[in-house]
Structure 1
Amino acid sequence: MASIAGVKGTAASPGTKTVMPVLLAISLAHMLNDSMQAVVPALYPILQESLNLSMLQLGWIGFMLNMTSSVMQPVVGLYSDKRSLPNLLPVAMGLSLVGMVGLAFASHLWMLLLAVVFIGIGSAVFHPESSRVVYFAAGGRRGFAQSVYQVGGNTGSTLGPLMTALIFVHMGQIGAIWGTVFAGFAIAVLLGLLPWYKRKLAEWERERTATAAARASGATVVEKASHPRVKFAMGMLVFLVFARSWYHSGIGSFYQFYLKFDYGLTTQQAQIPVFLFLAAGVLGTFFGGVLADKFGLKNMIVFSIAGASPLALLLPHLPLFWVYPVIMLLGFIILSGFSVSVVYAQYLMPANVGMASGLTTGLAFGMGAIGGIALGQSIDMFGINDVMFVLSFFPLVGLFAILLPPDRPKKKPGAWLGKI
């Protein structure tokens, strides 16, 4: 059985030191990348009025963004597991920059869709490579490292409601041009990281070439990664992340309309609960990873998804005063398993870090994008109240997390498979 070091070099070996400057830099780039993605749903209220779009059309915009940014991630991850291309990191941000310009000046639905495709492809290329940077920089603190990285991304997503309230309500669609500043800054950060990343990749290549035993054990991991129990565990994990993505998409994209129609809030006022949900999720993401290092990956996944169920069921029935604290607690709990899911996938597939990351943060979220269309269509057909009520039951799917294999035994990754 190969160790993590056997798969990706000494940089990821347990017990090695966490490289915090690199970790913070890639987290910052992740924040800037996800800030650009957050501009899209943040513009929904503006686009609905200025271009007279329906909820279904807004759902299609979200679908195109998430399908391109998410479904392509496992493909990019699988390819980069075989041949990593670090120079694609700044290129990815360049694609997102083009998309932000298109978003600011689009005057028709097809132009909006094309712009979000550029943003989505840029994100799809960025995530697998940046996840490998995190893997190298983590040392022996993989839960902590993944949490720091995901906190950056979730912080970027949290900026969406703030951008609506502070920029888009006043500037309109053209305010999206501010996203080009995010892209330019991210390109500069990633160019600064490239020398370190290339050096680590070179070290890994030298080790893989010089150590025949590492090559042989690495092949064993790939073999075991195709075992039915691994496939079942990965399938279950993707299903759980898929259900969480549907719920997260419903709150992040459409709950603001529920607040406007059911509680009578203005567009600016409706951003506050959504912001609180996302901001609390940032804290939950960080502490979830830290606690997973202590209590186990599976335990945190069960807690994060199933533990949010009572609060999710209560949310549509609360008076406005109670919406604010409950949605904060809900965001904290349900997002506490966000980074943990990625680490658990890497635990199951230690020889395919890029693909494992793409499946959990990519494909599963792409499937969640389908939920955006379904939710938009359902709202147009049945009304926002009924859809929010049905959506509140989605976190109950988290109960299936108890079927995941344990990760706490003090054995090498993959040892729970036993003899095959």
Structure 2
Amino acid sequence: MDDRVGNPALAGSGPATASRVRPVMAVLGAAGASHCMNDLLQSLIPAVYPVLKSEFALSFGQIGLITLTFQLTASLLQPFVGAYTDRNPKPYSLPLGMCVTMAGLVVLASAPNFGLILLAAGMVGVGSSIFHPEASRVARLASGGRYGFAQSVFQVGGNGGTALGPLLAAFVVVPDGQRSIAWFALVALAAIFVLTGMSRWYAAHLGAVRRKAVTSSVEGLPRRKVLIAVFVLMLLVFSKYIYLSSLTSYYTFYLISKFGLSKQDALVHLFIFLGAVAVGTAVGGPIGDRIGRKPVIWCSILGVLPFTLLLPYADLTWTTVLSVVIGVVLASAFSAILVFAQEMMPTKVGMISGLFFGFAFGMAGLGAAVLGLFADQFGIVAVYRICSFLPVLGLLTWFLPNVSEKR
């Protein structure tokens, strides 16, 4: 008898298991909740930009450099962390990474100058690089074969946290200033508690992690086609995250500059947009499980183009509406992209997760730095006119292999 039957810890070895085991919802819930708290803390960095800009007289270029420091710290380390833990799983690295994030927040709350702000951003990035590859692996391990669903649960937690960060910053940090960031160390403590429990479950089921995957939805594809597909997926992530970076880093400034909103009102609009991103993430994975990853990627990346082209010319009401549509549609792609890539290399889940999370963060950081310099030179509105064409890269989806019918 197949020892995977009825054993949730051994779920996810191939498509055949999906009908015989169920997702371990307690573990997926913990993964989503910890991702929510992790990304809530990370989202504080861009959320407090208006406060830091006022208190330290920062330029848009310096704002972009803060984002670049955070994103590159995370992105450069994640693939190496993932590749290492593919060979040597480290379940208790999850709470350790959150400890680094908590330390970064304490430094950010008390930083007296721009240099220490950069150091704090880098520490939060290191915590992120430790968290994401292993947490994503745990979500896949607990999926019961429903990989898209599991990644959506994991991702929607992160998106929900990213949306809550600006809202909490609007009512905690904006009124009381930089030092109030220290209150969010309590969130980090709660995350450490959740991650410790999740790590215990993970440590008890390391046999499933070490066992090689025996089947794949892309089994038999030549190595060259697999590498081309992974490269195309990374270009799609580039398109998605450069555009998202223009909104997460500069949307508040755009609303303040173009429509005269207050800092708090602008942060509420950012919360609305990020909430839409969370909704899109929630639906993208399960839909991909049903109809295949490639159709979801087509509709998400290329399908958002008409809305991004309209955004720079809309009034405040339509800007809000379009931002919601863009958030839902564009965010639905990431779970599909990540699972597509994992299925290309099923024995290197950690490396692929780290590569794609890291690349996404790196592109967001690079985009923020370049867009910040562009905004200093040409104005914040021009940023959205240029970025509106990025979803054209969705045409590259044509080069992905048609593997959904093999699932």
TM-score greater than 0.5 by the shorter chain: yes
> Do residues 296 (structure 1) and 292 (structure 2) align?
yes
Tell me the equivalent position of 1:96.
101
- Amino acid in the other structure paired with 2:132: H
Shift of 1:226: 8.2
1:18-417 mapped onto 2 (5 Å cutoff): 18-205=23-210, 208=211, 227-410=223-406
User: Quick check: 2:79–2:354 contact (8 Å CA) kept in 1?
Assistant: yes
Summarize deviations over 1:114-146 as a string: whole Å, max 9, x none: 111111101101111111111110012111111
Shift of 1:329: 1.2
Summarize deviations over 1:144-195 as a string: whole Å, max 9, x none: 1110000000011111320232112101111211221111001100111222
Shift of 1:398: 1.5
- Tell me how far apart the structure 2 counterparts of residues 325 and 243 of structure 1 sit (CA, whole Å): 21
- Tell me how far apart the structure 1 counterparts of residues 275 and 219 of structure 2 sit (CA, whole Å): 41
Shift of 1:47: 0.4
- What SS class does the counterpart of residue 12 from structure 1 fall into? coil
User: Does the C-alpha gap of structure 1 residues 334 and 170 become closer, same or farther in structure 2, counting only changes over 3 Å?
Assistant: same
- Amino acid in the other structure paired with 2:12: A
- Tell me how far apart the structure 1 counterparts of residues 383 and 128 of structure 2 sit (CA, whole Å): 29
Shift of 1:269: 1.4
User: Does the C-alpha gap of structure 1 residues 331 and 204 become closer, same or farther in structure 2, counting only changes over 3 Å?
Assistant: closer
Gaps of at least 5 residues in structure 2 are: none
- Amino acid in the other structure paired with 1:116: A
- TM-score, scaled relative to structure 1: 0.90
Give the paired residue count.
397
- Tell me how far apart the structure 2 counterparts of residues 331 and 346 of structure 1 sit (CA, whole Å): 24
User: Does the C-alpha gap of structure 1 residues 224 and 41 become closer, same or farther in structure 2, counting only changes over 3 Å?
Assistant: farther
- What SS class does the counterpart of residue 70 from structure 1 fall into? helix
- Tell me how far apart the structure 1 counterparts of residues 271 and 217 of structure 2 sit (CA, whole Å): 42
- Tell me how far apart the structure 1 counterparts of residues 190 and 45 of structure 2 sit (CA, whole Å): 19
User: Quick check: 2:36–2:159 contact (8 Å CA) kept in 1?
Assistant: yes
- What SS class does the counterpart of residue 85 from structure 1 fall into? coil
User: Quick check: 2:11–2:145 contact (8 Å CA) kept in 1?
Assistant: no
- Tell me how far apart the structure 1 counterparts of residues 208 and 270 of structure 2 sit (CA, whole Å): 44
Tell me the equivalent position of 1:10.
10
Shift of 1:223: 11
Shift of 1:349: 1.0
- Amino acid in the other structure paired with 2:198: L
Tell me the equivalent position of 1:418.
none
Tell me the equivalent position of 1:211.
none
- TM-score, scaled relative to structure 2: 0.93
Shift of 1:263: 1.1
- Tell me how far apart the structure 2 counterparts of residues 259 and 295 of structure 1 sit (CA, whole Å): 37
- Amino acid in the other structure paired with 1:385: V
Shift of 1:340: 1.4
User: Does the C-alpha gap of structure 1 residues 127 and 39 become closer, same or farther in structure 2, counting only changes over 3 Å?
Assistant: same
- Tell me how far apart the structure 2 counterparts of residues 222 and 300 of structure 1 sit (CA, whole Å): 17
- What SS class does the counterpart of residue 405 from structure 2 fall into? coil
User: Quick check: 1:11–1:200 contact (8 Å CA) kept in 2?
Assistant: no
- Amino acid in the other structure paired with 2:34: A
- What SS class does the counterpart of residue 138 from structure 1 fall into? coil
